[in-house]
A and B are shown apart, each in its own frame.
Chain A
Amino acid sequence: MNAPGGGPARGMGAALRQDSALKHATGEARFLDDLPEPPGLLHAALALSPIAHGRLLALDPGPALALPGVVAVLRPGDIPGRNDIAAAGSNEPLLAEGMVLHAGQPLAIVVGATRDAALAGAAALRPEIAPLLAILSLEEAIAREAWVLPPQEIRRGDAAAALAAAPHRCHGEFRVGGQEHFYLEGQIALALPGEDGEMTIQSSTQHPTEVQHIAARVLGCPFNRITVATRRMGGGFGGKESNASWVAAAAALAARATGRPVKLRLPRKADMAATGKRHPFLYRWQAGFAEDGRILALEAVLAADAGHSLDLTAGVIFRAITHALGCCDVPDVALRALACRTNTVSNTAFRGFGGPQGALLIEDVVHRVAAARGLPPEDVRARNFAGGGNGAETPYGQALEGALIRRVWAEARRDAGWDEKRREIAAFNAAHPTLRRGLGSMVLAFGISFGQMHMNQAGALVHVYTDGSIRLNHGGTEMGQGLFIKVAQVVASVFGVDVGRIAVSATSTAEVPNTSPTAASTGSDLNGWAAHAAASAIRARMAAVAAAEWGVPVEAVAFAEGQVTAGGNRAMEFGALAQLAYMQRVSLSATGFYRTPDIHWDRATMRGEPFFYFSYGAAVAEVAVDLLTGEHRCLAAHLVQDCGRSLNPAVDLGQVEGAFVQGLGWLTCEELWWDAAGRLRTLGPSTYKIPGSREVPPVLRVRLLEGAPARSETIFRSKAVGEPPLLLATAVWNALKDAIGTDHLDAPATPERVLRAIRGG
């Protein structure tokens, strides 16, 4: 493997390819469903509720059991442990018991000799459900004060008084839809029962430890009976955090009940009906501002549609309100986040985890203030940037880096040729009878760390073998984001060896226990440090062996280019030193552990410094809109993303581009549509439209911010990249508003919503 630009591929900062790239292309990379099937394998399928809310009166297993090949029908009474799959709270049933709370809720697990038999059995069940009135909208939930947890508030100053005193006031109400993850590989798990109550689970999960915990809870056994492994996922995006756990628990339950291995692979429609999505939000706010667009006060309610249960909603609304001012400063604020309970699927983590929804609030405020004052929104946003003459502290008490905010914006604006583009667009719009072009922007500040403080920890396990080959295992999971290659680069750098010497093994609860999910963009930050610690421990022992062998001080021993050296005349191949250490009975295996320092949060006061650092970025997008039909297209995007000192620019660039296009989908073409009975009707790619290649702007220029190493002690001064750039797509939403000449556009801005906005609806 060679780094672009020549030179040997090795450690940090090299643009190394995703470790499985060629295997993906040849079809050799094995996803869970590609693994050879164990003898005696049974298949499971889920029977889902057709009703949004009701009392489950009866569920006769007979019709399924009468079919050939159906082995078992499992209902709540068949659960040996607890019927509870809650990730954070409690009482979220795996299988509906008594009450049905959403259409698509699992009611029973049907086990069959073949997958078709199981699916046919599930389809044959006819649950008796007495319908109850369902809450299907955020408005209804707010009116009935139906929450999954109490409202969260962040306040600073006296927003009401500042509003009253402000020279100008305006208000707004808008909404943004949810988003289906649409990982290409659907949810899947394979459970193998073993002796002494053991259960080995292969799961396509971002959180093997949670799979372990939930499966143990459902089976009623200690955690040490359950081993969970994940080699790779065909996409996750947050959708395989809590949702993968119950899918795996269902497979484990079926395996326990039958004593045979069981695979559960959800068909796409069942996957989309039964698993949570990004939270839709409804926003209501009022702001007070000055002549020059300086926003003085903001009162806002951000209402998140949690669906029927808590799942990870507490974290989502925490991130939404901590990101609701984006990169801006507002002196007096009162932000209230509602976690609304509706009879829909329980919404969950999705790349950005409420951050993208939070950031839309300040963008809407900025645009309406700008419209009210007749100013460009970019000027109003810049007038309110944190730092400079404005406050640098977020309302919850953590400082933003105003200089970086201004720098990313200046660079994106320059890259896009903003002023010239403005003139070009004005000329086009004056001349064309039916098309309008528009220009929009976004500047983001995204806090990195899990909102749950205890989750900011990671472990790793490194072995050096006596031939000098290295095996690396850590708690992070690979879902395509390039985590394995990045962490391998860290370890290669510690040992001074080529990354090709390192084999990364499947993530497993048996190798590294008690792990956090690979989520919140923290994968390489946490696991990189943990692996660094493990590798450094081994290196120190090896250095001591070399120092003794050569009679030099340990500090003189260096590891580089596959060699261990001391001064100019002592050298040994890395593998030779490993062999020497073994002969001298020195351990060549070590665990590593890391906990993010310096972060804290006080839930009572909603203040603290919950993020290790912030990541920044800016974007300019150009769009065209057809005034007659609402059709639109992004023509160009210029993105600048702060990755600190990038661990791997090729991987990071891919994350920025992919996140931008995913955000573009969320805000434009991806629409979840429920019928009047509360059934989701966009249950497959034929009706739910994620971006295709033509949605990617023909001009897409992406740059990683240069010369901006992280100020915090991050791994090699890099910064996380998974989620923040998704927010950059907000520039497209803003550009659409610019093209139409409106300050009100609900998202997703489908052609229908755009046409409505054009027609003043």
Chain B
Amino acid sequence: MSIVSASLDHAGGPDGALNGDALNADARREARGLFALLSPGLFLVFAVIIVPIGWLFWLSLFDESGQLSAANYARFFEQASYIKTFVTTFKVAFIVTGACVLFGYPLAYMLSQLPRRAASICLIFVILPFWTSVLVRTYAWLVILQRKGLVNTWLMDLGVIGQPLPLANNFAGVVIGMTHIMLPFLVLPLYASMKTIDVDCLRAGMNLGASPAATFRQIFFPLSLPGLASGVVIVFVLCLGFFVTPALMGGGKVIMWAMRMEQTTSLYSNWGAGAALGVVLLAVTLALLGLFHWLLGARATGVWSRR
């Protein structure tokens, strides 16, 4: 019997047991001590998460004249530009996530199959861009993709195309730039989950008569799904709130949610409307996480319970 469980047995009042009071007091002291250790963290969560989000929500309930109203939310249904921004945001998020899966899955698979040394070297090339500023990377893409950029100059010099391709300052540019920035967010969790797949499971598959392709399809791929799902969730959610790349690569033609917020607050100084945008984005993100959780189970999102 441990000291803690002994004191729990006697919790709720002394019954004359040997040292009952002292043990109860000791248990309470321990509980207070543990709470005291927890309190800096709790304070931080309260100060930087609960308070700002509550404030955001509060702000969104007032219109420009300072009157309590639902006008900021009504705007989502009334103004076509809001709806268009919403649709664009989701379109970009879907396409970028799809492109990340398309490029990231084979990449993660290759990394997981390489010998340890080679894998860690290749992994550096995945992580290195991760450490570079998003702004720098986006400008780099602009240099590469613009009308007189590297790609267009080369293709025209080679005679492949007569006119420069519209790769920057449009939807394509946003997708290319964002895919590059999002790729590590998909590859890293996917790679980690692929590394945990037991080689013997794949061997067992082949031993039991499944060809290498069938083994991949029936065993490797299903076992990599939790990692793929968490990568997809991370990329999709990050895409929804992304600002820098669409702002620079979109050439003003691709307006995403975060850009709308920036315009509303800095250009029009309408804090209520901006706050409402933030609240809606947060709600949609949470709803999406809930949907993924429901579809794929807790392992994919890791947000709720862990089995």
Are chains A and B native binding partners rather than an unrelated pairing? Answer: no
Interface residues of A (CB under 8 A from B): none
